[in-house]
Structure 1
Amino acid sequence: MKSVASFTAAVALLSGTTNAFWRMPCRERIGLMRLDPIVDPGTASSHGHTLHGGSNLQEETTYEMLRDSNCTSCQFEDDKSAYWTPSLHFIHENGKTEVVEQIGGMLAYYLLLGKDIKAFPKGFRMLAGDSRLRNFTGAVPDPPLAAWTEEDLTQFSLGQKSLGFNCLHYKKPAEGARYRHFLPTKDYMDENCADGIRAEIFFPSCWNGKDVDSDNHKDHMAYPNMIDGGVCPEGFDTRLPSLFYETIWNTQAFKDFPGQFVWSNGDPTGYGYHADFINGWDIDTLQSAVETCTDPSGKTEDCPVFSGALLSEPEMMQCKIESQPKILSNDDCAGPADGLCGNVPVQYGPAYAAALKPGDHAEPTVKPTLASSAAPVPTLSYASARSKGATDAYGGGISVYNVEETPAMPTLTSTSVSTSTSVEAEAETPAVTAAALADDAISSDDGIVSTSTYTSEGIVYEVAIKEIAVTVTVEAKRRRHAHMHRRDREHGLLGRH
């Protein structure tokens, strides 16, 4: 019981989201190669990727092809989806380049945020991130959610904030997911990240309800205004599962070696980190999982939809791509080699990077250049979450918070959604309709004095107290749940397990 009779207030519903999710381990990559049938169909990709999921991934890949895969590197044997991100490499002082060891494959989280969530349709594909970005336009670190401005709520800004590079040190409390939107410098990782770096990226989850793809593979999707929840922009009212990728890289293997880390697209900053997804689920099975996998543990073993069809780690690790494209026969993306596969130059920024060219390339002739001046990224000190993030044996697991309070939502205005991906462009604030506000959240106009939460029938409700001309008493319970959280009031961190 919490009395608020000491001030005049009214109660308004902010949001209701279930705490349901599952995380899909994909314990081994099916390939490390220049393959990207979304951005570079029919030819060699401009840069290398670490690929996971269904084995029938080719230069041009359809939904039906993925469904015909002989195997999958993911735990549920009927998830034939394709998941990929850039790979991380180390450039030695002499220019020799080699891939960094990837630990535990990939974790793909399916977070069920919002209401009436629909399965990804047949032929659905999407891209998160921008390979050419080399800077960050927001405040460092992120301000608390309650302090977000209209600029923080643009699609461009939300996309930048969807990235995270979690410094792993298992003898310390875990950092919050997406606390740091850039790859730390090598000196910082040598000193602080004893168990490597976990790269993280959130995909948009608001769909226009009609297009399974778009010209830039982004415009059919949009982020909700809290990235991992909140309000969808007008015209993107269909909620899909919220995808969140994690990959862990053993950067400590290069401790005290002179050189630096760089992503396979030639990005040493991390700002250009990105990820791709092609749906390979049986649609009815995925919809059943969306409606059934409500256990807060997030374990696939705890969902009856997956019962009896889960692969062991050795089975996952045996799955490899069925046929490497001939155009890639001379590639060596693992190294050691004289440069990055695809002959990719290292581009430091902060200017928008030059576009990379797809297609066949000779062995690397562009010797990577190491930065000789100041680091291209800022420094953020190690910042632990309030409680240690629950991890699996490989260190995967979105960090956990025991939330005492939930900050008020930032003020929202009604303008059009921007789909620009250029670093110079100004993205506009996502549109918010009255219906959307009633469904998911309310605008935090002047007069909101506090917020609280309560849980009913598995749904977490957030309540805003707003000054009006009457006095009321509010009954509410503070949520302390090990598997849901909002932003840390001090650091603006967020994560979900």
Structure 2
Amino acid sequence: MKSATQFAAAAALLAGVDAFWRMPCKTKTGVARIDPIVNPGEIAPHAHAIFGGSNFGMSSTSDVLLNSECTSCNVTKDKSAYWVPTLNFIHADGKVEIVPDVGGLLAYYLFERQDDEKMEAFPDGFQMLAGDARQRNFTLSFPDMPRSEWINHPEETTQQNLGLKALGFNCLNYAKQPPEPTVYRHFFPDKNYLDANCPQGVRAEIYFPSCWNGELDSPDHKSHVAYPDTINNGKCPDSHKRRIPQLLYEVIFDTNKFKGKEGQFVFSNGDPTGYGFHADFVMGWPVDLLQQLIDHPVCGGYGKNAGTGTLEDCPLFDNIKDEIRAQSCEFEMPKVLEADDCVNNLCGNVEVFAGPEYAPAHPGGGHGSPSGVYTPPPVSEQTNQPTLSYTTPRSAVGPISIYQVGQNQEAPEPTPAPQLHHAAVEGNGKVLSTSTYTSAGVVHEVVVVQEDVYVTVEVDAPSRKRHAHHMHQRHQHS
């Protein structure tokens, strides 16, 4: 983006800032009503978009996934399963269409911890989920209270409320800088707002907890883990003192495909609000390898040796990457689900429920079209949404910048629209790495660029820039 002031890699290399890496899972292994965590051995109530190991199924465990022949993620040794609900568009005539994702799912492995803490790899058999599929409201104020004030308001740091604030929907407009911060907006924007303000779609974002009590799972699949007191940084509760890597999922939905069309966006769990967005993870790494990655001074370390988040930065990934193989990896659809059509239907006969009450439980096992009388939710975001105060970040938490927010401050003027330039870089940018991938029949080139701290630089940014909010580097896609 031209004239965009960026936070640079140098700022991220200050003492105490941890390493991280991004795990690209650019294609789905499938879309199905399967959830081996919540509904093991049964048909799940709603559909999910699934990424990762090919042995994914209705009863998948770590041991099963580790024996997968392939994975849709770029590291061959990572057979973990990652999944989220699909986003669908219900047209005015009742027809349902799945909203395409742009580039699949990106799973961040973040290594924030206190100075003297040891970080442990996920053990064999570990699984967890983040979010609540039945949630339909947000009980706190918007924008969020500044994190520095949470200590004086204990209700802000309950696990329930940290979980509500750990998900976000980033309105993507690459002609504007700075971009919206991660997990700034905790609800899905209404369609009028999307059409007017989000030409590159919406990026759904959700953090998993990073504090652990040592159990592999819990009855609600959440209580064995906990968020630190500022979601992705800070102190773990006394009940969950052990630190594990923090996962952050990102999925970009191409909502602009439906600009000007009458209808409503609804997640596959019948949620038109976004408050019920959720995500699941089943461990599928060799534990020894994951621990080596965490302990490596570049791949998982602190300070000046920490990498910039690309797999290429970590030498332990050198011989275990295979992006081409990942693009053709799929799981075998269970016969009981072969009649489902989760691409052109809210499969499972899911009722669309806007709340604000907690959504009723929906049984699994059904087939057919959407049920219930659908009423669009109340307008939750006006055209004049609260603006951001783009000041120096209150806290630098690994690769993610957390900005102050305020309702009465003006955001910077948008910069001119970017020009396509085949991912070429001009000005002060230093190319850290380049790669290509194919999505929807289009070849994309990704250039990772390092820039100097608080220096205004001139670069030509193509139209598929995915992670402009990161401190360490900026991506340019074409």
Q: Which band: TM-score by shorter chain?
A: 0.7 to 0.9
For the 8 Å contact 1:95–1:369, the answer to whether it is kept is no
After superposition, residues 55-66 of structure 1 pair within 5 angstroms as 55-66=54-65
Residue type of the alignment partner of 2:327: M
User: What secondary structure is seen at the aligned counterpart in 1 of 2:155?
Assistant: coil
Distance in 2 (alpha carbons) for counterparts of 1:108 and 1:164 = 15
1:162 has 2:166 as partner:
yes
- Aligned partner of 2:436 in structure 1 is none
- Aligned partner of 1:125 in structure 2 is 127
Match of 2:367 among 344, 362, 368: 362
Distance in 2 (alpha carbons) for counterparts of 1:480 and 1:150 = 35
- Aligned partner of 1:67 in structure 2 is 66
1:374 has 2:392 as partner:
no
Match of 1:223 among 227, 236, 248: 227
Per-residue CA shift, 1:228-273, capped at 9, x if unaligned?
0101001201000010000000000000000110110000000011
For the 8 Å contact 1:134–1:350, the answer to whether it is kept is yes
Distance in 1 (alpha carbons) for counterparts of 2:392 and 2:100 = 25
Over 3 Å counting, the alpha-carbon distance change for 1:280 and 1:187 in structure 2 is same
Over 3 Å counting, the alpha-carbon distance change for 1:353 and 1:377 in structure 2 is farther
User: What secondary structure is seen at the aligned counterpart in 2 of 1:347?
Assistant: coil
1:177 has 2:187 as partner:
no
- Aligned partner of 2:309 in structure 1 is 298
Residue type of the alignment partner of 1:259: G
Residue type of the alignment partner of 2:212: W
Residue type of the alignment partner of 2:326: M
Distance in 1 (alpha carbons) for counterparts of 2:195 and 2:321 = 37
Residue type of the alignment partner of 1:334: V
Residue type of the alignment partner of 1:27: K
Over 3 Å counting, the alpha-carbon distance change for 1:298 and 1:380 in structure 2 is farther
Match of 1:150 among 149, 154, 160: 154
Over 3 Å counting, the alpha-carbon distance change for 1:101 and 1:384 in structure 2 is farther
Distance in 2 (alpha carbons) for counterparts of 1:194 and 1:45 = 33
For the 8 Å contact 1:198–1:247, the answer to whether it is kept is yes
Over 3 Å counting, the alpha-carbon distance change for 1:365 and 1:86 in structure 2 is closer
- Could you tell me which runs of 5 or more consecutive residues in structure 1 were left unpaired when the two chains were aligned: 1-15, 390-396, 404-478, 483-493
- Aligned partner of 1:208 in structure 2 is 213
For the 8 Å contact 1:175–1:383, the answer to whether it is kept is no
- Aligned partner of 2:466 in structure 1 is none
- Aligned partner of 2:411 in structure 1 is none
After superposition, residues 260-299 of structure 1 pair within 5 angstroms as 260-292=264-296, 293=299, 294=301, 295-299=306-310
Per-residue CA shift, 1:163-211, capped at 9, x if unaligned?
01000011112110000000000000000000000000000110002x1
Per-residue CA shift, 1:331-367, capped at 9, x if unaligned?
10101x4xx1110011001001001112x21322516
For the 8 Å contact 1:178–1:495, the answer to whether it is kept is no
- Aligned partner of 2:330 in structure 1 is 320
Q: TM-score, normalised by structure 1?
A: 0.73
Distance in 2 (alpha carbons) for counterparts of 1:388 and 1:332 = 48
How many angstroms does 1:94 deviate by? 1.5
Per-residue CA shift, 1:210-233, capped at 9, x if unaligned?
x10011101101100010010100
1:349 has 2:358 as partner:
no
Over 3 Å counting, the alpha-carbon distance change for 1:349 and 1:168 in structure 2 is same
1:77 has 2:79 as partner:
no
For the 8 Å contact 1:177–1:399, the answer to whether it is kept is yes
Give the root-mean-square deviation of aligned CA atoms: 2.6
Over 3 Å counting, the alpha-carbon distance change for 1:402 and 1:301 in structure 2 is farther
Distance in 2 (alpha carbons) for counterparts of 1:380 and 1:129 = 28
After superposition, residues 24-35 of structure 1 pair within 5 angstroms as 24-35=23-34
Over 3 Å counting, the alpha-carbon distance change for 1:353 and 1:17 in structure 2 is farther
User: What secondary structure is seen at the aligned counterpart in 2 of 1:146?
Assistant: helix
How many angstroms does 1:19 deviate by? 2.3
Over 3 Å counting, the alpha-carbon distance change for 1:184 and 1:122 in structure 2 is same
Q: TM-score, normalised by structure 2?
A: 0.76
For the 8 Å contact 1:387–1:401, the answer to whether it is kept is no
How many angstroms does 1:369 deviate by? 1.5
What is the count of residue pairs matched by the alignment?
382
For the 8 Å contact 2:55–2:68, the answer to whether it is kept is yes
User: What secondary structure is seen at the aligned counterpart in 1 of 2:130?
Assistant: strand
How many angstroms does 1:95 deviate by? 1.4
User: What secondary structure is seen at the aligned counterpart in 1 of 2:347?
Assistant: coil
User: What secondary structure is seen at the aligned counterpart in 2 of 1:191?
Assistant: helix
Residue type of the alignment partner of 1:306: F
Look at both structures and tell me which one has the larger radius of gyration over its CA atoms.
Answer: 1
Identify the range of structure 1 (235-244 vs 141-150) with the bigger mean alpha-carbon deviation: 141-150
How many angstroms does 1:496 deviate by? 6.2
Residue type of the alignment partner of 1:19: D
- Aligned partner of 1:334 in structure 2 is 343
Match of 2:318 among 290, 307, 327: 307
Per-residue CA shift, 1:2-57, capped at 9, x if unaligned?
xxxxxxxxxxxxxx843210010001010111110000111111000010000101
Distance in 2 (alpha carbons) for counterparts of 1:43 and 1:377 = 37
Identify the range of structure 1 (291-300 vs 256-265) with the bigger mean alpha-carbon deviation: 291-300
How many angstroms does 1:387 deviate by? 9.4
Match of 2:202 among 160, 179, 197: 197
Distance in 2 (alpha carbons) for counterparts of 1:368 and 1:23 = 41
Distance in 2 (alpha carbons) for counterparts of 1:258 and 1:90 = 10
User: What secondary structure is seen at the aligned counterpart in 1 of 2:106?
Assistant: strand
How many angstroms does 1:370 deviate by? 3.7
- Could you tell me which runs of 5 or more consecutive residues in structure 2 were left unpaired when the two chains were aligned: 1-14, 405-451, 456-468, 473-478
Distance in 2 (alpha carbons) for counterparts of 1:183 and 1:243 = 21
For the 8 Å contact 1:175–1:399, the answer to whether it is kept is no
Distance in 1 (alpha carbons) for counterparts of 2:132 and 2:309 = 29
Distance in 2 (alpha carbons) for counterparts of 1:481 and 1:39 = 46
Residue type of the alignment partner of 1:56: N
% identity of equivalent residues: 46
Distance in 2 (alpha carbons) for counterparts of 1:251 and 1:62 = 33
- Aligned partner of 2:45 in structure 1 is 46
For the 8 Å contact 1:402–1:480, the answer to whether it is kept is no
How many angstroms does 1:315 deviate by? 2.4
Match of 1:236 among 219, 226, 240: 240
Over 3 Å counting, the alpha-carbon distance change for 1:20 and 1:332 in structure 2 is same
Residue type of the alignment partner of 1:57: F
Distance in 2 (alpha carbons) for counterparts of 1:136 and 1:402 = 20
For the 8 Å contact 1:117–1:241, the answer to whether it is kept is yes
- Aligned partner of 2:476 in structure 1 is none
Residue type of the alignment partner of 2:291: Q
